[in-house]
Chain A
């Protein structure tokens, strides 16, 4: 079973920031937080990952709380093409990825 918990679904207005939360309250010091998304009828797509520090790339920002028990994925200016299921995964080096049901994000015009 997935070790993270995420809301089942969220809506976001086009052009606004989408903030997707994830709880990983049992995370250990060596475990990473990965985010993937899956657009309908496609394979999952990597977004970003982090260990302790906040991370930013061309797709998104990842904010990890100081106690590392939760994180937030931020899509700064959501577009209709960002409508997808977003998966937050807690994983130790070398372990397999356990995907939960994720958060279904709907970006509304």
Chain B
């Protein structure tokens, strides 16, 4: 079956712009996670959804970052007023529930010029 998909695969934007990153989880997975990963580092947790609600958003670095999952399936990570330090690989994962195997997507590479 289809795995987790993320679009776009690459996004180049200018400092100060707004970006949206999309994640399509595996069908039936109620849990969805966003991570970001800088070169040479492990993934850094951002936010975890259980269904439509954010069960844990403690990893969002500041109020420029926001994520939604309105129908409990597709999720969008939104970044306002992008900064060069936001440049990273943004990874999405989904699972049947917390503690189950997380399936990761291929990521979106964000570059802020």
Mark A residues whose CB is within 8 Å of B: 2, 32, 36, 42-46, 85, 87, 93-102
Which residues of B48-72 have CB atoms within 8 Å of chain A's CB atoms? 48, 55-56, 58-59
In the complex, B85 has a CB within 8 A of chain A: no
Query: B107 contacts which chain A residues (CB < 8 A)?
Result: 43
Contact B56 A96 (CB under 8 A): yes
CB-CB nearest in chain A for B91 = A43
11 A-B pairs within 8 Å (CB atoms) are namely A32-B99, A42-B104, A42-B106, A43-B105, A43-B107, A44-B93, A87-B42, A93-B99, A97-B43, A101-B40, A101-B41
- Report the count of interface residues on B (CB-CB < 8 A): 25
Of residues A87, A93, A95, A96, which shows the largest number of chain B Cβ atoms within 10 Å of its Cβ? A96
Cα separation A95 to B55 with both chains bound (whole Å):
10
Contact of A96 among B42, B59, B105 (CB under 8 A): B59
CB distance from B40 to the nearest CB of A (A): 7
In the complex, B111 has a CB within 8 A of chain A: no
Cα separation A44 to B104 with both chains bound (whole Å):
6
Query: A97 contacts which chain B residues (CB < 8 A)?
Result: 33, 43, 45, 102
Contact A93 B103 (CB under 8 A): no
Query: A46 contacts which chain B residues (CB < 8 A)?
Result: 101-103
Cα separation A106 to B16 with both chains bound (whole Å):
40
Query: B103 contacts which chain A residues (CB < 8 A)?
Result: 46
Query: B59 contacts which chain A residues (CB < 8 A)?
Result: 96
Query: A87 contacts which chain B residues (CB < 8 A)?
Result: 42
In the complex, B98 has a CB within 8 A of chain A: yes
